[in-house]
A and B are shown apart, each in its own frame.
Chain A
Amino acid sequence: MWSEKYRPKAIDRLIGNEESRLVLSAWLSKWKPGAKAALLMGPPGTGKTTFVNLLAKENGMNLVDLNASDVRTKDMLRKRMGEVMGTVSLFGERSLIFLDEVDGLAGRADYGAVEFIKESVKESQNPIVMAANDPDSDEIKKLSSSCLAVRFRPPPPREVEMYLREVARGEGLAVGEEELRRYVRESAGDVRQAINLLQGSQQRSQGGDGDSRGRYKDTDRTVSEAFNGFFGAADKEEALASLRAVSMSPFEKVREMHRSVVKSGLPAPELARALQTVSSADLLIGRMMKSGEWRMLRYLDRLFVEGLFPLVKGRGVKYTGQDDLPFPVLVRVWNDSKKIREISVKYAAKAHTSGMSARSQDLPYVFALCSKKQFREGMERALGLDADPDVLESYDKFLQKEAAR
């Protein structure tokens, strides 16, 4: 495989994420015990793992690679990381501890794992690097506040083209400009995919089978064109091809699909079934996050095609876009969400339940009861919302508004 043959052998032969690579290289060269850990955040396939491997190699360090989804509890982490963290070789050589897919630490079973990492970092005799696919998850936000957090993104098309030309030059190929650009567009920033497409076309032109991976990718489309391509597709294959061209994280894909379905104007029974499919997709993502089984991602698009496409086919459903709410409304939603989160934390502590249960099960009823002034004031006192008169006033207004819903 050319993608293996041309896998970068040094940090300066990687493409994209130049600033992140420089920041991390400087971090490691200046690292000393007690310094922060590094956290690489970015979608799969953006070169996080390759970069960390090369970083260890170029700094003469031994890489200790742990997949966080395999060691999800505090005890397991302590067992696997404990020895490595406190060990330096006789000659003072350090190891680079790499904790991949720390998104896998999310969930109740992992209680304590994130805290353990945060504490361990301070005591470790070896630098720790973590990688996560979803920077927006709560666990990752918790971690990133105490780490050197850097983002990894797909390289821009021109850099992919540069690398593809380098591969073509290495293979002694004369590939037309338009052909190269087509592979760049179809690969959507995935360098391996671009190289596979180039290799496939060369093998086909030489009479071989060729590698047809990525034939459904059509990233010359915008997100809205790809979504609208899905809603307006003639058959399931076309719908699947369109959905695969959506260049978004799975979480965003589910969220955008939800928005479009909600605003689709489908009759109630179809709408219910469509939302059921979106809900299943959301569950799939949740389970994937909990277990760290990123392989399940391959079922996401198929789930939409099998469950949702037959319901929307020929109904004129359109992609609603990401900015369907006016900004002042979005700000209000953010503020309200923040208040609900704060209240649920205080309520959960009093009611000996989790914040999630408080939000989903208890608070809707509690808010309804807040229409009675006496109850509302009692609750404000019980939750300690009355400590500051200004804060109390804002909470009181919020509770009245929620009660009036």
Chain B
Amino acid sequence: MAKKRILVGGWFDLPRVGRDVFSALMKQGVVYDKAMGFKLDSGTDLQAAVRTVRAAAGEEVELTLRCFVCGKESCPGCPYLSSCDRTRVSTLCLCADHAPEKSVFDAYSETFDVHLKA
């Protein structure tokens, strides 16, 4: 089965879905924009939405997370990739450039403050 990679917080396309599937996706908190497509975010019931998207797209779904500090895709090269269930954890992470071993906790906190003030 082909694999569909979806960045949580990024837009993605689906083949035309029926009313029931669309309604299920909306109930599961998936965001829809006519021009942009679909989006999974922190308000989405990720487990249910992934099941629905998998069935609608006919492809395995692999979620990837964004780095909270720089916004880049964070999963490639992550040592926890095989054991991390991205449908259950919170929707932002840290990329290799801001990996924990680089003492990024202060940078992480500062980023939060910047967002808060914005």
Interface set of A (CB-CB < 8 Å, partner B): 11-13, 15-22, 25-26, 135, 149-159, 161-166, 169, 177, 181, 184-185, 189, 219-223, 247, 322-323, 327, 330-331, 334-335
Contact = CB atoms under 8 A, between A and B. Distances in A.
Given A19-B42, A158-B100, A220 B88 contact: no
A154 B90 contact: yes
Contacts of B89: 16, 153-157, 189
Given A19-B91, A185-B83, A220-B83, 19 more contacts: A12-B116, A17-B90, A19-B42, A21-B112, A26-B116, A156-B84, A156-B90, A157-B80, A158-B78, A158-B94, A158-B100, A159-B100, A159-B108, A162-B100, A164-B100, A184-B80, A327-B56, A331-B24, A335-B20
Interface in B69-118: 74, 78-80, 83-86, 88-94, 99-101, 103-105, 108-110, 112-113, 115-116
Contact of B90 (A18, A162, A185, A223): A18
A218 to B, nearest CB: 10
B3 to A, nearest CB: 16
B104 A18 contact: no
Interface residues of B, number: 42
Nearest to A221: B83
Given A158-B74, A158-B93, A166-B105, A334 B43 contact: no
Contacts of A322: 51
B100 A17 contact: no
Contacts of A327: 52, 55-56
7 contacts: A12-B110, A19-B42, A158-B74, A159-B90, A159-B100, A185-B83, A220-B83
B103 to A, nearest CB: 7
A169 B103 contact: yes
Most buried by A among B54, B85, B103: B85
Given A151-B42, A159-B93, A13 B100 contact: no
Contact of A165 (B43, B93, B103): B103
B67 to A, nearest CB: 9
B113 A12 contact: yes
Nearest to A16: B90
B99 A158 contact: yes
A161 B103 contact: no
Interface of B: 20-21, 24, 41-43, 45, 51-52, 54-56, 65, 68, 74, 78-80, 83-86, 88-94, 99-101, 103-105, 108-110, 112-113, 115-116
Contacts of A222: 83, 85
Given A150-B43, A334-B20, A181 B91 contact: no
A315 B41 CA distance: 42
Contact of A18 (B85, B86, B112): B112
Contacts of A149: 43
B25 to A, nearest CB: 12
Contact of A22 (B54, B78, B90, B116): B116
A152 B86 CA distance: 14
Contact of A162 (B21, B24, B83, B108): B108
A12 B109 contact: yes
B88 A247 contact: yes
B43 to A, nearest CB: 6
B60 to A, nearest CB: 11
Interface centre among A17, A151, A220, by most chain B C-beta atoms within 10 angstroms, is A151
A338 B116 CA distance: 41
B24 to A, nearest CB: 7
A184 B80 CA distance: 9
A157 B115 contact: no
Question: 9 closest pairs, A vs B, by CB?
Answer: A327-B55, A162-B100, A157-B80, A19-B42, A161-B100, A16-B90, A156-B89, A153-B90, A156-B93
A25 B116 contact: yes
A323 B99 contact: no
Contacts of A334: 20, 24
A163 B104 CA distance: 10
Nearest to B108: A162
Contacts of A19: 41-42, 90-92
Contacts of A153: 88-91
A184 to B, nearest CB: 7
Contacts of B94: 156, 158-159, 162
